[in-house]
Structure 1
Amino acid sequence: MAKATKKQALGRGLSALLKDPENDINSVEDKNADKLVGNIVELELDKIEINPFQPRTNFNDETLKELSTSIKEIGVIQPITVRKLEFDKYQLVSGERRLRASKLAGLKTVPAYIRIANDQESLTMALVENIQRQDLDPIEIALSYQRLMDEIKLTQEQLSDRVGKKRSTIANYLRLLKLDPIVQTGMRDGFISMGHGRALINVDDPQKQLEVYEKIVGEGLSVRDTEKLVRAINNPASATEKEVKGSNVLPGYIADELQGISEYFGAKIDVKVSGKGRGKLIIPFSSEEDFKRIKKLISSEE
């Protein structure tokens, strides 16, 4: 308990030091800079601006509320990291969820580590640190890689060394940015996985790519099924009969009505369509009672 009190008091003391214009610290060479580096400082929330280099763009409201509740109960366990902009002004480097949740909890200050870095260093720190997180979606990671390469002028090899990832891994993420924006949004929202996205990249026709995407989402295709479907589309002559059947991308007039038909019958309706436009509806049933229910629905339409 005494140790925690001492640490908290140190943070308040450094906060007071940072508010003294005569002791403005802007580099590691400045007086009292050694007292700042490596220590936790209590900073006022309204003195911290959001990091423009933050790769995360989606913040789940429910998880933010949960974190806010936790902060109200036990405080901010892991300090955020900021960089000094000017006297008594700071910019977030990492920890935006903690910062947002702290504001939501009604806190006035937040524990922080202060770094002294220029724009490029701040960009590198923010992106590299966030890339290592487990909860970024594939598109956020891809955009972070692309931004590091564009703004810091890194090659894929140099980026590989900087973030500790294989060059092939980085290349696979970057290729996702070639997907149609609708497909990218679907990946960010969790409707499809990175594996689905990697398979869809091989469909050059944008319209066909969207048709396959809709089939993945509508029918819950696995990554393996998607890969087979893409192979059948790209190489119809060499595709196996099973793969050709799996390549049954529905015409728009059927896809638009399929959900309504499934809802009417209370079952997931499967549709098979031939190249000549002929097809069939497959209505599954789970029991004799379910079969009679469906039969009654069909009879009522006659």
Structure 2
Amino acid sequence: MAKATKKQALGRGLSALLNDPSNDIQSAQDKNADKVVGNIVELDIDFIEVNPFQPRTNFSEESLRELASSIKELGIIQPITVRKLDRNAYQLVSGERRFRASKLLGLETIPAYVRIANDQESLEMALVENIQRQDLDPIEIALSYQRLIDEINLTQEQMSERVGKKRSTIANYLRLLKLDPIIQTGMRDGFLSMGHGRALITVEDQNIQLDIYEKILANKLSVRETEQLVRDYNTSEQAETPAAKPVNKDGMPEFVKTGVKAFSEYFGHKIDVKVSRNGKGKITIPFHSEEDFNRIKKLVQGDSK
């Protein structure tokens, strides 16, 4: 207990040093910077702003309340990290969940590591530290890696060194961004895992990706079952011969394109048509209720008489 009290007193002393106008620290070369940077400082929570570079975009209210309850009982075990903007002005680098939970509790101060960095360094620190320490979903991690490439100009090899991940692991995350946006959203919402996403990447046609995605949700397919479904699709595609029939710029045979509108008008729904390279295809008629299904059934039965 005495040890903890001493540590808190040290934090308050460093806070006083930061608040002293005669000791305004703006860079690592300034006087007393070495006494502050890298040490735990007790900061006024109102002096801290959130980081616009934060890669996490979803914060569960329930999980924040649970974290707040834990902080109330045990305190903040791991300090947040901030960068100094000005006197009594700081910006979060990492630890936004802890920061938000502390505000929920109405805490006036919060323990923090103080860093001095420009915007680019702050962005890199935020991305790297969040990838390492936060429970981001696979798409958030992939977007963080992509931002390190686009905005910091890091290579995959450099990122591997920064975050302690294999280059192949980074490449696998980045490939997820090639999935259809609907599937990416499904991953962010937790409807399917990274393993499902990696299996779907091997399907180039995004319409087929979506078909398989719907089957995963409807049948609650495991990653292994999804991989088998994708293998079956890829095998059937390889066995097909290229179609000799003329196709338009959308890849749809002309005879299908001219007829699908008539189908849609007849059934009162947009009809989905899938056509393989050998000219074979599938027509899907959607329905929205039992009554709608019976209406379509009557139309089909009427044609068969």
Task: Name the TM tier (shorter chain).
Answer: 0.7 to 0.9
Shift of 1:257: 6.0
**Secondary structure of 1:126's partner?**
helix
Q: String of CA shifts for 1:253-279, please: whole Å, max 9, x gaps.
A: 27x569xx9xxxxxxxxxxxxxxx9xx
Amino acid at match of 2:149: M
Q: Which residue of 2 aligns with 1:227?
A: 227
Match of 2:158 in 1: 158
For residue 24 of structure 2, what is the aligned residue in structure 1? 24
Q: Structure 2 matches for 1:171-186, cutoff 5 A?
A: 171-186=171-186
Note the C-alpha offset of 1:237. Answer: 6.0
Inter-partner Cα distance in structure 2 for 1:78 and 1:161: 24
Equivalent residue for 2:214? 214
CA distance in 2, matches of 1:236, 1:45: 60
Aligned to 2:113: 113
Work out which of the residue numbers 225, 229, 253 in structure 1 matches 2:286.
253
Q: Which runs of 5+ in 1 are unaligned?
A: 240-248, 262-276, 278-302
1:29-68 alignment, distance < 5 Å: 29-68=29-68
Match of 1:236 in 2: 236
Report the AA paired with residue 49 of structure 2: E
What is the deviation of 1:165? 1.6
Report how far residue 185 of structure 1 moved.
1.0
Q: How does 1:121-140 map to 2 (within 5 A)?
A: 121-133=121-133, 135-140=135-140
Cα deviation per residue 1:80-133 (whole Å; 9 max; x = unaligned)? 110101121101011111000000011111011101111222122111111113
Q: How much does 1:157 deviate?
A: 2.0
| Cross-structure match for 1:274 | none
Aligned positions of 1:65-84 closer than 5 A: 65-84=65-84
Amino acid of the residue matched to residue 139 of structure 1?
I
Which runs of no fewer than 5 residues in structure 2 stay unpaired? Answer: 240-281, 294-299, 301-305
Could you tell me which amino acid in structure 2 is paired with residue 160 of structure 1? S
Q: CA deviation at 1:16?
A: 1.8
CA distance in 1, matches of 2:154, 2:238: 41
Distance in structure 2 (CA, Å) of the matches to 1:198 and 1:257: 34
Q: Deviations over 1:278-301 (max 9, x none)?
A: xxxxxxxxxxxxxxxxxxxxxxxx
SS at 1:236 equivalent: helix
In structure 1, give the amino acid aligned to 2:97: R
Shift of 1:218: 0.9
Question: Aligned equivalents of 2:83 and 2:139: distance in 1?
Answer: 26
Give me the CA root mean square deviation.
Answer: 2.4
Q: What SS class does the counterpart of residue 235 from structure 1 fall into?
A: helix
Change (3 A) 1:231 1:79: same
Aligned length: 251
